[in-house]
Amino acid sequence: MTAQQIEQEVFDDGTDGGEAVARLYQAGGIAYGVDGFDSVTDEHIALFHDQGFLVVNDAFNPAEVRTASTACST
């Protein structure tokens, strides 16, 4: 999937104003991330400090997500 296709998918919600919203955010690339916290290395942490974010795929299992979601909604 290209960056343009991702932008179209993310910002085209079928309502008016989608183009204006899309212009607010210009993608400089695609963040692929690492698989789980156990895969995070010192290089990833340095990248986080440089870019301000780090994508961690499958960071939490479904039970952990349910527990956190329940805790936030009560």
Kindly state whether residues 59 and 73 are assigned to the same domain. Answer: yes
Kindly state whether residues 23 and 43 are assigned to the same domain. Answer: no
Residues of the chain with pLDDT > 90, as a percent, come to 51
Kindly state whether residues 36 and 57 are assigned to the same domain. Answer: yes
Kindly state whether residues 56 and 20 are assigned to the same domain. Answer: no
> How many folded domains does the chain comprise?
2
Kindly state whether residues 68 and 43 are assigned to the same domain. Answer: yes
- Model confidence at 74, pLDDT cuts 50, 70, 90, reads confident
Question: What confidence score (pLDDT) does residue 31 get?
Answer: 81
Kindly state whether residues 48 and 64 are assigned to the same domain. Answer: yes
Evaluate if pTM is beyond 0.75. no
Bridge partners, 34 (sequence order): 56
Separation CA 33–CA 66 (nearest Å): 23
Question: What confidence score (pLDDT) does residue 9 get?
Answer: 61
Kindly state whether residues 36 and 72 are assigned to the same domain. Answer: yes
Domain that holds residue 63: 31-74
Which position has the higher pLDDT, 55 or 17?
55
Two tokens, residue 45: 């942490």
What phi-psi label fits residue 52: left (phi over 0), alpha (psi between -120 and 50 degrees) or beta?
left
